Structures are given as structure tokens and as C-alpha cells.
Amino acid sequence: MSDIPPGGKPIPIEVIEESLYEVRRKIYPRSVTGLFARWRLILVFATQLLFYGLPWVSWNGRQAVLFDLIQRKFYIFGVVLWPQDVIYLTLLLILSALALFLFTAIAGRLFCGYACPQTVYTEIFMWIERKVEGDRFARIRLDGEEWPWGFRKWRLKITKHFLWLLIAFWTGFTFIGYFTPITTLGSALIHLSLGPWQTFWLCFYAFATWGNAGFMREQVCKYMCPYARFQSVMVDKDTFLVTYDKVRGEPRGSRSKSADHESLGLGDCVDCSICVQVCPTGIDIRDGLQYMCIGCGACIDACDQVMEKVDYPKGLIRYTTERAIEDRESNQSAIRHILRPRVLIYTAFITVLTAAFLVSLVTRNPLRVDVMRDRGALAREVEGVRIENIYRIQIMNASENNMNVQVKALGLDGLKVLNSQGQVVTEIEVAPASNLLMPIKVSADTGVNQPGNYPIHFDVIAHEMSGNEMITRTRDEKSTFIIPR
Amino acid sequence: MSDFFNGGWSDYIALVSLVGIVWCIWLLASQRKAKVVHTADGAVADTGHVWDGDLRELNNPLPRWWAWMYLIFCVFALVYLVLFPGLGSFPGVLGYTTDGSLMKSMTTANEELKPVYAKYVTMDIEQVAADPKAREMGQRLFLNSCAQCHGSDAGGAKGFPNLTDGDWLYGGSPENIKTTLINGRAGVMPPFPQLDSKQIVDVANYVRSLSGLPADDLKAARGSEVYKSNCAACHGPEGKGNIALGAPNLTDKVWLYGGSEATIVETVTKGRMAMMPSQDKVLSPEKIHLLTAYVWGLSNNKQPATVK
């Protein structure tokens, strides 16, 4: 132990052995109003309108957004994605990660504070809790000694859980509505004819919502969430964070409103502890930045209201940067540091990837072709007439229109594409959103080419009728043609 | 789990597993408490660990439910080891095996498919072959189980018969095809070491002449004598073949191994061994029924091998 402990901590006095495991203290966050609370409310509404509303939107006579796992097709408005399109999911995940890095570098844990489902559902559940049981002190009293389990307590608790479970089940129902058409799901639910898996997932997501937003709350952020741990390392000296201005606030202490606190040797913090009371993770922001802070800004709103009451300038707790606190800069000059290399690099990455994503989505070719040469035999000789190689061709039509497909084999003189009856393949019809597998023969006249392996390629041309216009799609697949000795 | 080469290993592995779980529980119990430094006002400062002179470990205790979860998983492990195989060669009281699980899911899948096949099992082969849905299923079965040798278009290859040309070694009636599928076939053309090379060239020319291929008349005339005494027993006096033996018809244009003089010489000199494996243990009777119809349909009522 060093003689001068850092951070001005008092000198330790004794070493005591105590339990390594902490019993959870239930947190009763006080309700808060203000700028950031309003922003959170807006985001809660925006994200949940999207989540609860999207499955009910229809498009071209089907559900607009449907992830059909059984048919292995993802419908997203006008786009039908096949398993082969998994690259888009990869891109989307990379983009999400980069966006998280960017937001975190600029203003800390914005995602956690305003958009994370854990925060959003906790916010919804706490709102219900407040409406049923009252605000912080009423809830503390209700759970405390003075309210033994009686009729009123039972009534309040049952009401609260009933409303919670209602929302939880609706959430679970909406969630599985992304995977099975929600209208049929609704009628199945009414007739109690849900399948065993649907029932399981419905209950699973309902239970998870109820458990996480009703009971686990800040425990998820503190002990389970990986984002919480690694977002903390993505902030630097120029990141805007929820910060208590120590220089202005300390030494803290209560005082009468009329007193001149500077002559008393006090800072601006009146030690009212409101910032601790409103904190959803139950920390004291005045201890500085800590990993439990989800950056929700509730303490900012609360502290500003107190500062207004005691007639001090606002912003004792505010979004600001470490550099601004150290150098006593204004936020205006701190904003100038936003455009720093890490932010520019993230932005550049995001811009390039988004462009690539959109371009490749717009120019996506719904015609896909696979050619597999039969492995069993090298080639077949039809005595003295021609050499045949056998292939299986798989033509996938990922569009929502019919396709008329022509197949040509090129790369060697006089190649003909025949069906297994030996007739020349002219035009193949492939139904919308389906695939067709057919064995084909490719034949070359005997004696024209030397024996050996020849790289050939299949030119596949599809005509797709989209409304009144004809779209031509092409694919080129490589393969090998063998002429035996 | 009988991979242990003696019983001792099984016991050893079981012991290691159990000791591991017990050790986990002991670790949890023994580490329940930690020494922490309290400050004058009673708050917990840190664990007293200091590195590099100024780096301290603060006291961030785990939540208690985490410890309970740890214990629950230890219990879960013990319950699992009782129910499922895991303790050496102890099979577990549920008698679960991966093999059994596979068999069960296969049985379930076959049960689920029964109604799909039921419709066709009672039909004649000719009727099934005329049903487009059955042909589609037949083609998929064919591509999975037969195309490796006969080709995706059923056109065969050297040594593997073409199934689309209406020429059959063992007969082309639905019953014959089904017998071929169920029991398999072993085609044997014996080698003829008793013939000298001149006689073999003669007989090869004779055989070529039978199907109207260009041949040396003089050699063919000599070869006809060789044929009568050596080949007619199986291929018949006129070379029409014999479906009871699977002896090929030598008068048509179909050659299993090729019809050039050199190839025929090789066939007679060294003999040929052909093998159609039995599908009895591989495919269910319903599937064999559908396949028979598909294969029969390839050369009868001119069904295309591709299903549009």
C-alpha cells in the first residue's frame, strides 16, 4: 500500500473478511423530466413503433418483412433474399458495429442510453410501475416494513405484473410474427392452435422480456452485457460523456439558498443526491466515469432542475469531454475536436460500406446458376458420332416473376446443349422464387478436337417479365469438358 | 462408448469428470469470502492488492445470483451425467445414443413420408411412370442413389449400362427392373486364356460383323467357328444375348465397354466383371417402387428424364 492513496481516498483502517458475493440492492429510480428524458421517450416510441408495427405492414399481397426460415427466404419489402445472400447480413452486422463505434467515439454509450432494447423495455416497464405503485419513495415504502402483505399491496403487485406480462406476451408474439405470418399467427393464437415450437418461443420471449425488463434491469448491463465492457474502451479524451464537473462542484455540501457558498468554501454541488436517486443503475456519477454508467443523461436532467431552483448556472453534470474539463474549455470549443482521425475513419468506412451495400442490393442478379459436372465418369462416347459430358445445371430464379432461360455452352467448337433425351435445349421456364435442377448433356462432334480437358463456360440468359418490361439477366458459369483418348 | 481398450480407462475418465465437478463446488464454497479493506467511514476501499505501486484492485463483488447459477450448473452436470452417456462407458439411465437418435429421426421421417408414397405403392409401375409428381420424386431419388454410376441423365458410361436406350441386359419389364434394384446383379464375362491372340482377333471381327460394323471378312469367317465353340453358350447362336445371364446382345449398336476391335479383344482376353449393388438395405420398398417406375419410364412411353 502506498502512503498517499490516489483519488484522495481516506486512509484505510482495517481489513475485514466478508462475502465475495453481493446481494442485489433493488433500485428505485426516481422519475425524471427534461431534455434527455424527452429524447429517450422519442426513441422509445420510434423503435417500438417500428418493432411492433412492421409485421403488420403488407407488400405485394404478402407480409412486408418476413423471415421465412422453413422456406429459407427472407422477404424485406421489395427484396427477396435467399441463403446465398448471407453476405448482406454480414455487411449489415459490420455496418451496425461500425455505427456503434462511431456513436461511442462521439458521445459515449448513446446506444445503451437511448436505443438498447434493455433500456427501452426497462423504461416502458418502469413507466407502468410508476403509474401503478407511484414514484420512488412510494415504491420504497410499499416494499418496506410499513406495508405488510395486505389487500392493497397484493392489488398493486398483481396489477403491475398483469400489465407487464401483457406487454411481454405481446412482445413475444410480435417477435415470432417476424418468422411466421403474423395474421395467421394471430388467428392461431385466438383459436389456441399454436404449434409447439411457436408456443415455446412465444413463452420464451415473453419470459425474457418480463424477466429482463421487470427484474434483472441494471444487472444485465452490469454483469451480462458484452457491449458495456467494450464500449468503455472506445472513448477517448474528446468523447462527450455524462460528466460531473468536479472542479465546479467540489467540495460539495448543503447550504441555505441565501448563503454565499464561495465564502463558505463550498462548490456548486448541494449534495441533494437527486442524481443518485434517478440513476437506473444506482451509481453516483460524482465518483467519475464508471463502467456501470449507461450514458442515459437522467442525472443531467435532474441536476439541471436543482441548479435552476438554487439559481446556479446549469451544467454541473453535463455532456462534455475529459479534455474540456481539464482545460476548462467551453463545449463550443470541445465540439471542434469531434472531427478527429478515429471519427473520420469510422465515417469513411461507414460511407463506403453503405454505398457498396446499396449498389450491390440494387444491382443484385436474381438469376443464379450452378453447374456441377458428373463425377462418376470422365466422358461418354457415342460410337463414332459425338463425345458427351454430363452436367447437372441448377437454375435459381430469385425474382418474383417468371423467367425464360436459354443455356449455351461455349469455349470449344461446336458444343451443343442437350437434355437427357438428346434434344437440343431451347428454352427452360423457371417459376418465380423457385429453382430447377436438370441433368444436361453437352456434346461435341468426334474427331474435331484433340483429346484433353477443356475449360468451357455456360452462358445462361434469362428473360424476366417484370410488369410490361422485359429484363434480361445473364450468368456465366465455368466448367470443364473432357475429350477422352 | 466402448472405445476404451480396458475397463480401467473408463473408470479413470469417470473419476476425472466427477472430481472436476466436485472441485468446482469446493472452489465456490471455499472462495465465498474475501479480505477487503475498509476505510474510516466504513466504506469498502479495495481488496488491498496493489500493482506497480499505484494500480489497485477495487472491490466489485459478483452478484449472488451469479454464484447460484454456478451451483445450479454443477448440479445440472451431475444430473446430465446420470441421464446421458458421459461417465466413461456408463450409458446413462435414459439409454440415449446418437445412433439411436438418428434412427429415431429417420423412422419419424419415413413415417411422415408414408402418406406421400402410399398413393403410389398400390399403383402399377406403368401408372406410376405416367404420374408427373412420381417422376419428379423418382428423379430426385435417382440423382441421389443411381446417378453416381449411371450418370445424371441415366445415359450410363463405360461399364455402366445406359438406362434410356431400351436395351436391357437382364430384361426391361418392370418386374425385371425391380429385381435388379432389390437384389443387385453380378455380370461376369469370363476371360479366355485357352484362345490364342489370333483367334481372339478373329472372333472380335466376327462380333463386329454381327452388328454391321466394318470388319475383315476373312477374319470374321474364321471367328464364327471360334464363336460357336466358345461364346454361343451365353450370347446365343445368333449373338442375341441372354437376359437370364445378363449376357449382352452382340447384334445391336449398344456396347457396354466399347465396340472397337481393340476393346473387344481386351474383353475376350481379360474378361469383364460388372456389379450392380443391391438396394434392398439402402432404400425402402416404396422408394424402390418409385425408382422402378422412373427407370422403366425412361425408355418406355417416352418420358423425358427431365421433369419440367
Q: What is the pLDDT of residue A64?
A: 93
Residues of chain B with Cβ-Cβ distance to A376 below 8 Å are 147-151, 157, 160
Q: For the ranges A100-104, A115-119, A413-417, B291-295, which has the lowest average pLDDT?
A: A413-417
Which residue of chain A is at minimal alpha-carbon distance from B41?
A10
Q: What is the pLDDT of residue A207?
A: 96
CB-count exposure of residue A352 (10 Å: 0-12, 13-18, 19+): exposed
Rounded mean pLDDT, A309-332 = 90
Q: What is the dihedral of CA B116, B118, B122, B124, to 10 degrees?
A: 20
Rounded mean pLDDT, A256-264 = 80
Residues of chain B with Cβ-Cβ distance to A9 below 8 Å are 39, 45
Q: What is the pLDDT of residue B302?
A: 56
pLDDT digits (tens, 9 = 90+) for A234-249: 999 999 999 999 999 9
CB-count exposure of residue A86 (10 Å: 0-12, 13-18, 19+): exposed
Looking at per-residue confidence, does B114 or A98 come out higher? A98
Which residue of chain B is at minimal alpha-carbon distance from A392?
B152
Contact assignment for B34 to A17 by CB distance below 8 Å: yes
CB contact, 8 Å: A290 with chain B? no
Collect the ranges in chain B with pLDDT lower than 70.
1-5, 42-45, 301-308
Report the phi/psi class of residue B42: left, alpha or beta, with left for phi > 0 and alpha for psi in -120 to 50: left
Looking at per-residue confidence, does B290 or A7 come out higher? B290
Q: Rounded distance, CA B254 to CA A31, Å?
A: 90
Residues 186-225 in A contacting B (C-alpha not used; CB under 8 Å): 219, 222-223
**Per-residue confidence band for A1, with pLDDT thresholds at 50, 70 and 90:** very low
pTM for this predicted structure:
0.80
- Chain-centroid distance of CA B256 in Å reads 25
Contact assignment for B53 to A2 by CB distance below 8 Å: yes
Q: What is the pLDDT of residue A11?
A: 56
Residues of chain B with Cβ-Cβ distance to A219 below 8 Å are 63, 65
Which residue of chain A is at minimal alpha-carbon distance from B33?
A19
pLDDT digits (tens, 9 = 90+) for A167-187: 999 999 999 999 999 999 999
Contact assignment for A390 to B152 by CB distance below 8 Å: yes
Q: For the ranges A128-137, A271-280, B152-161, which has the lowest average pLDDT?
A: B152-161
Q: Minimal Cα–Cα distance from B38 to chain A, Å?
A: 6
